[in-house]
């Protein structure tokens, strides 16, 4: 086997990756015992764990939780509840639009702008 990668990072862990040569694996008598699937076309690959990364998870969900849990985040979120959420509620309940019917960023953006225009026209009609 040859060293494919000395420090591969996979899900917060560091591995050394070794891989066999395809020519050696194809004619090996122990192939059925070595591979998980006998029909596998490639050569055997082995990952050996040598450590883990010290970095904590910082995915978008974790970052958003930290942002909302801060003092400033709580203040901003409380303002959102009074300013933005009623618009979503009106579009959802009163107008009856519960989901986007189109696909793609451009089409969804156009549909979202139409929903907002309908909401704003309803406000103009009611109070104008």
Q: Over the stretch 83-93, which tens digit does the pLDDT of each residue have? A: 888 888 888 88
CA distance linking residue 45 with residue 39, whole number of Å = 15
pLDDT at 117 exceeding the cut of 90:
yes
pLDDT of 114 reads 93
Closest to 67 in 3D by CA, of 12, 53, 86, 58: 58
| Alpha-carbon torsion, ordered 76, 78, 84, 86, to 10 deg | 180
Please, what sign has the CA dihedral across residues 43, 44, 50, 52?
positive
**CB-based contact 86:92 (threshold 8 Å):** no
More reliable by pLDDT, 55 or 21: 21
Q: What's the pTM value of the predicted model, to 2 decimals?
A: 0.42
Indicate whether 122 pLDDT > 70. Answer: yes
Domain extents in the chain? 2-52, 60-127
Q: What is the mean pLDDT of residues 45-64?
A: 81
Using pLDDT thresholds of 50, 70 and 90, give the confidence band for residue 41: confident
Nearest one of 7, 30, 12, 9 to 20, comparing CA atoms: 30
């Amino acid at each position: 086997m040859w060293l494919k990668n000395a420090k591969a990072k996979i899900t917060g862990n560091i591995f050394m990756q070794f891989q066999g040569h395809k020519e050696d694996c194809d004619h090996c008598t122990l192939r059925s015992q070595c591979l998980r699937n006998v029909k596998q076309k490639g050569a055997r690959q082995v990952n050996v764990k040598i450590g883990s990364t010290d970095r904590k998870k910082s995915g978008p969900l974790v970052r958003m939780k930290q942002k909302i849990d801060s003092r400033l985040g709580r203040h901003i979120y409380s303002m959102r509840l009074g300013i933005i959420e009623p618009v979503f509620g009106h579009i959802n309940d009163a107008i009856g639009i519960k989901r986007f019917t189109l696909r793609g960023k451009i089409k969804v953006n156009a549909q979202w702008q139409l929903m907002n225009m309908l909401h704003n026209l309803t406000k103009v009609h009611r109070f104008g």
